[in-house]
C-alpha cells in the first residue's frame, strides 16, 4: 500500500492517515520502527502524521489535500503552537475552502484573510479565435471556469424579446 501511495504522489495527510492506521491497529509499535520498515526517515513519518492531525477546519480551508506540502504543515503546526488549537480552529472555520495556503497561514495568525488584489487581464489570442486570460491567481480562476463560461454566454446572448 505504501508503494502505491508513493507511486501516485499521495499528499502528506494521506500518508499520515496511512501511518496512523498502522500504528493504531498495532501493526507497528512506534514511528521509528514503522519508518525503518518502510525505508523512510522517522521525520518523514512524523511530518506526515502531523499533516493528518491538523484540525479538520484547516483541512477544509485547504480544500484539495494535494495543495498541502510538508513545509506548509510545519509552518501551520508552528502557528497552532503559537496561537493555540482553539483559536486556530475558530479562525480556520471561517476561511473559504480552496483559499491559498499562504492566505490560510496569514488568516490563522491575524484572524483576517489578507486582501488580495486580483489582477486579471483578458486579451484576444493569435488568429482572433480565442481569448487569453492572464492572472497571478489562475488556480482560483480554473476552479471557476464553468461560471466564467456561463457569464460570457450571458453577455453575448441576444436580449429577450428581440
Tell whether 81 and 143 lie within a shared domain.
Answer: no
Task: Report residue 122 as a C-alpha cell.
Answer: 483578458
* Cell 457569464 belongs to residue: 151
Q: What average pLDDT does range 19-31 have in this prediction?
A: 94
Tell whether 98 and 135 lie within a shared domain.
Answer: no
For 1-5, 34-38, 67-71, 102-106, which range has the lowest pLDDT when averaged over its residues?
1-5
**CA atoms of 43 and 35, how far apart (whole Å):** 8
pLDDT in tens, 44-69: 999 999 999 999 999 999 998 888 99
Residue-number span of the structural domain to which 21 is assigned: 2-110
Helices 42-52 and 70-83 cross at an angle (nearest 10°) of: 60
Q: 84 in a domain, yes or no? A: yes
Q: Identify the helix (H) or strand (E) that includes residue 5.
A: helix 2-7
Nearest to 108 by CA among 132, 127, 128, 90: 90
pLDDT in tens, 94-146: 999 989 999 999 999 999 888 766 678 888 888 888 888 888 777 778 888 88
| Residue 159 or 26, more confident | 26
Tell whether 64 and 136 lie within a shared domain.
Answer: no
Residue 122 confidence (pLDDT): 83
Cβ atoms of 104 and 76 closer than 8 Å: yes
Domain count, the chain: 2
Overall pTM surpassing 0.75 (yes/no): no
Residue 117 confidence (pLDDT): 67
Q: 78 in a domain, yes or no? A: yes
DSSP string, 124-148: E-GGGS-EEEEETTHHHHHTTHHHH
- For residue 89, list its beta bridge partners: none
Amino acid at each position: 500500500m505504501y508503494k502505491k501511495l508513493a507511486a501516485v504522489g499521495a499528499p502528506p495527510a494521506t500518508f499520515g492517515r496511512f501511518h496512523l492506521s498502522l500504528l493504531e491497529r498495532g501493526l507497528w509499535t512506534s514511528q521509528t520502527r514503522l519508518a525503518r520498515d518502510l525505508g523512510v526517515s522517522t521525520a518523514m513519518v512524523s511530518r506526515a502524521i502531523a499533516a493528518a492531525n491538523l484540525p479538520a477546519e484547516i483541512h477544509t480551508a485547504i480544500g484539495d489535500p494535494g495543495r498541502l506540502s510538508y513545509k506548509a504543515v510545519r509552518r501551520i503546526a508552528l502557528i497552532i503552537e503559537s496561537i493555540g488549537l482553539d483559536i486556530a480552529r475558530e479562525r480556520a472555520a471561517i476561511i473559504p475552502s480552496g483559499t491559498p495556503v499562504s492566505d490560510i497561514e496569514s488568516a490563522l495568525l491575524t484572524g483576517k484573510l489578507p486582501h488580495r488584489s486580483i489582477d486579471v487581464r483578458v486579451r484576444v489570442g493569435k488568429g482572433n479565435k480565442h481569448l487569453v486570460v492572464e492572472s497571478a491567481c489562475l488556480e482560483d480562476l480554473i476552479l471557476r471556469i464553468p461560471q466564467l463560461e456561463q457569464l460570457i454566454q450571458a453577455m453575448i446572448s441576444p436580449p429577450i424579446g428581440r
